[in-house]
Amino acid sequence: MMVHNFISVLSKMKLLSPLGMSRLVAAIYKHGINVMILLSIYEKVYSNKIALIDEKESISYRQLWIQCENLSHNLKSKYGLGKKQKVAFLCQNHASFIKAIFSVSRLGSDIYLLNTEMSVSQFDELANEHQFNLLVYDESLSHLVSNFPNEKVLSFHNTLPAINQMIKRKIPDKHKIKRASTSRIVLLTGGTTGKPKVAEHQPSLINYVNPFLTLLTKLKLLERKNTYIATPIYHGYGIAILLSFIALGKTVVICREFNAQKACNLIREHQIEAMTVVPLMIDKMLKHHVDDLNCANGRDRQLS
């Protein structure tokens, strides 16, 4: 059953053809098994197709690949990131956050996604317990991380050192990155009052076969051209939908914070066909402008 499902997943991802298989093998050989191989494969398949849209930019699969590869080299050069190291993310939904996730995974470092609504004391406790080697955080959340003793970098800033600035730097001469297949994605999102629950995901193709097929079947992802991730990416469902849509060569739309008016505008502007929401979000959008949640081009939207 597992073998059949694995073959089915490869087929859905257009990797079962001789060309597709050669690209998969080449990506694994060069990068190892981590989420970066998705970009390595699909920057060739969907080169100029839009992969990611946020408030500041629209970026193609090829552009996303080039920027993430460049960022990986610069993160390695500046912070010495590699296997068995821990990188924490305290970020809302935006492109720099996603680029950093792919880039850190390429280096083999473990990725910790933190709840942006936690308190200072909760963050301090987590930082002390997990001993993160690097923290990537939003400027708006600076008040939470003032006590963090190790390296930290802003996710985005127009002038100060930040992830978006590092992307622009040239790759150091003769700088190479070895294959890495040990990166984990760890979710620390158990709420804002108690100790966060730990949900760990290993970078194994087999581990994602059944969940991926479930998403394909229940949400009919193959029929959707795009998705709007309204829920935080640091939630399990948010990161799952992000990686699933990238694995299918679809377009992902994100926004830093949920706002009913902005959400309705995004749905209308991009003709969104699938989105991640919680009941309260749907209620707010219905009260704001119900027409934006109706069918687009005669097709049903999938709210999940």
CATH number at residue 246: 3.40.50.12780
What integer pLDDT is reported at residue 78 of this predicted model? 94
Q: How far apart are CA 191 and CA 8, in angstroms?
A: 36
Helix 236-247 and helix 209-219, axial crossing angle in degrees, nearest 10: 80
Per-residue confidence band for 10, with pLDDT thresholds at 50, 70 and 90: low
User: What percent of the chain stands above pLDDT 70?
Assistant: 75
26: pLDDT strictly greater than 90: no
pLDDT tens digits, one per residue of 118-127: 999 999 999 9
Chain centroid, CA 256 distance in Å: 13
What integer pLDDT is reported at residue 236 of this predicted model? 81
Q: How far apart are CA 257 and CA 255, in angstroms?
A: 6
Per-residue confidence band for 149, with pLDDT thresholds at 50, 70 and 90: very high
Per-residue confidence band for 296, with pLDDT thresholds at 50, 70 and 90: very low
Domain count, the chain: 1
Provide CB contacts within 8 A for 83, sequence distance 6+. 107, 108, 109, 180, 182
**Bigger pLDDT: 145 or 19?**
145
The parent domain of residue 38 ranges over: 2-303
Per-residue confidence band for 195, with pLDDT thresholds at 50, 70 and 90: low
What integer pLDDT is reported at residue 293 of this predicted model? 63
Chain centroid, CA 93 distance in Å: 9
**Bigger pLDDT: 115 or 208?**
115
**Considering only 65-79, 129-143, 164-178, 241-255, which range has the smallest mean pLDDT?**
164-178
Q: Is 253 exposed, middle or buried (0-12, 13-18, 19+ CB in 10 A)?
A: buried
Q: How far apart are CA 251 and CA 200, in angstroms?
A: 26
Q: Is 1 exposed, middle or buried (0-12, 13-18, 19+ CB in 10 A)?
A: exposed
User: What percent of the chain stands above pLDDT 90?
Assistant: 52
**Considering only 11-20, 24-33, 92-101, which range has the smallest mean pLDDT?**
11-20
Count CB atoms within 10 A of the CB of residue 149.
Answer: 9
DSSP state of 248: T
Q: What is the mean pLDDT of residues 172-181?
A: 72
Per-residue confidence band for 137, with pLDDT thresholds at 50, 70 and 90: very high
73: pLDDT strictly greater than 80: yes
What integer pLDDT is reported at residue 114 of this predicted model? 96
Chain centroid, CA 278 distance in Å: 19
Return left, alpha or beta for 136; rule: phi > 0 is left, psi -120 to 50 is alpha, else beta: beta
Q: How far apart are CA 243 and CA 38, in angstroms?
A: 8
Distances (CA, A) of 98 to 52, 169, 185, 214: 9, 18, 13, 23
What integer pLDDT is reported at residue 194 of this predicted model? 56
**Considering only 78-87, 197-206, 284-293, which range has the smallest mean pLDDT?**
197-206
Residue 112's nearest CA partner among 193, 185, 177 is 185
The one-letter code for the residue type at 50 is I
pLDDT tens digits, one per residue of 240-269: 889 888 988 999 999 999 999 999 999 999
Angle at 214 between CA 210 and CA 219, to 5 degrees: 155
What integer pLDDT is reported at residue 177 of this predicted model? 84
What integer pLDDT is reported at residue 141 of this predicted model? 98
Alpha helices in 80-156 (DSSP H): 95-106, 120-130
What integer pLDDT is reported at residue 48 of this predicted model? 95
What integer pLDDT is reported at residue 59 of this predicted model? 97
Q: How far apart are CA 154 and CA 97, in angstroms?
A: 10
Contact, 90 vs 123, CB < 8 A? Answer: yes
The one-letter code for the residue type at 109 is S
Half-sphere exposure of 245 (CA within 13 A, CB side): 28
55: pLDDT strictly greater than 70: yes
